[in-house]
Amino acid sequence: MVRRRAQKRSKLLFIILGVVLIYFLSKIVSGYLPVEVTPARISELEDTFAGEFIVLRQERVITAPFKGYFIKVKNEGERVAKGTVLGHLEKVEGTSLEKTASLSIKAPAAGLISYQIDGLESICNPEMWLQLDLSKLEALQKLEMNSSAKKTDKEHQQREETIEAGDGLCKIINNLDYCHFYLAGFGAYPEKIKKGGNIYLRLDNHQELVLKGVVVDLSRKTGEYGILIKIFNAGNLEPNRKEKGEMIICTYKGVVLPEKVLVKKDGQYGVYLFKNGRACWQKVEKTAQLQGKVVLSGLTEDDWVITDPQLVTEGKRVTRLNK
């Protein structure tokens, strides 16, 4: 029984394959060449430059007035109002682990609370930013985050290691004002990035948000570069020190197609269109070519472009593989 069913399925498969083969053979015999086509749709192609940015916001560290244990009552990244209790510092005197006093730590200003203190907070203030340039930031390229900034894996665990007097307990980040993004790397950056020029950024974790900024400083050395960007709308970001993303260098609008559709004929760029069952060469202008794609003008959204132009010639009879 099972064997008969398998034989029937095999016969059915052979019949289907035979019909398809006969169809294409009939097209070829009759002079029609099967081709893939794609619609000419107007869209945008972005020229981007990716990297990992160091985020410099206005940050205010709250330090411990005495040695003790800090018990948090707010979550990382939570927005708090001025005067909100952020946690309690339990005092430790001498070598005794007994709690002798408790001090409520309050927010000195409104903003986002963060327990990730890494030592860069000293330059995260507007007074420093008046003289901020890349000569002060080049050391950040070799920055290693302080191990004390790591979160505990146990959510129920509130007590942490003993905090010495003067150590940072947490910090308040002003997320409503402008901030700076610093990008350093090896190699070269695109020539279109200019000091004083407007720039747009899109972060990996916030694809829906386009950050707007201006390039305030550039540095180029042998094999290295540094870019400092002033950002105006980073309010919705989490209090991370580093963010991966890309700068949008330029946006091209037009008919965006795979670069393989482009052919050169008599010194001019063009594509082959599917028209009334024939391949017709159409002159186009190439606006941009990057990321394996081209941006073209000279086409309409009613046009269908043959994606394998090397298979056809002008006036060749063709049939569409895809509808």
Q: What is the mean pLDDT of residues 61-84?
A: 94
Percent of the chain with pLDDT over 70: 80
CB 170 within 8 A of CB 87: yes
237 phi, psi to nearest 5 deg:
-85, 150
Q: How many CB atoms lie within 10 A of CB 109?
A: 13
Least confident of 30-34, 41-45, 194-198, 312-316: 30-34
pTM, two decimals, is: 0.74
CB 112 within 8 A of CB 239: yes
- Contacts for 59 with CB less than 8 Å, ≥ 6 apart: 114, 120, 121, 124, 125, 171, 172, 173, 174
Q: What is the mean pLDDT of residues 122-139?
A: 70
pLDDT greater than 80 at residue 73: yes
SS3 (DSSP) at 21: helix
Q: Which fold has domain 47-54+177-250?
A: Elongation Factor Tu (Ef-tu); domain 3 (2.40.30)
Q: What is the mean pLDDT of residues 118-132?
A: 77
Rounded Cα–Cα distance for residues 43 and 287 (Å): 13
Query: Would you state the pLDDT for residue 139?
Result: 57
- Torsion from C-alpha of 298, 304, 307, 309, nearest 10 degrees: -70
Q: What is the mean pLDDT of the chain?
A: 84
Query: Would you state the pLDDT for residue 148?
Result: 39
Q: Which amino acid is at 225?
A: Y
- Contacts for 156 with CB less than 8 Å, ≥ 6 apart: none
Reference 234, options 58, 10, 32; nearest CA is 58
pLDDT tens digits for 35-68? 999 999 999 999 999 999 999 999 999 999 999 9
- Residue 95 pLDDT level (bands cut at 50, 70, 90): low
Q: What is the mean pLDDT of residues 275-303?
A: 94
CATH 2.40.50.140 correct for 29-45+254-320:
no
Query: Would you state the pLDDT for residue 31?
Result: 62
Residue given tokens 């020029």 in the structure block: 197
**Where are the chain's structural domains?**
29-45+254-320, 47-54+177-250, 59-116+151-174
How do strand 318-320 and strand 33-35 relate by DSSP bridges?
parallel
Q: Which CATH number fits domain 59-116+151-174: 3.40.190.10, 3.40.50.300, 2.40.50.100, 3.40.50.1860?
A: 2.40.50.100
Reference 125, options 76, 80, 172, 167; nearest CA is 172
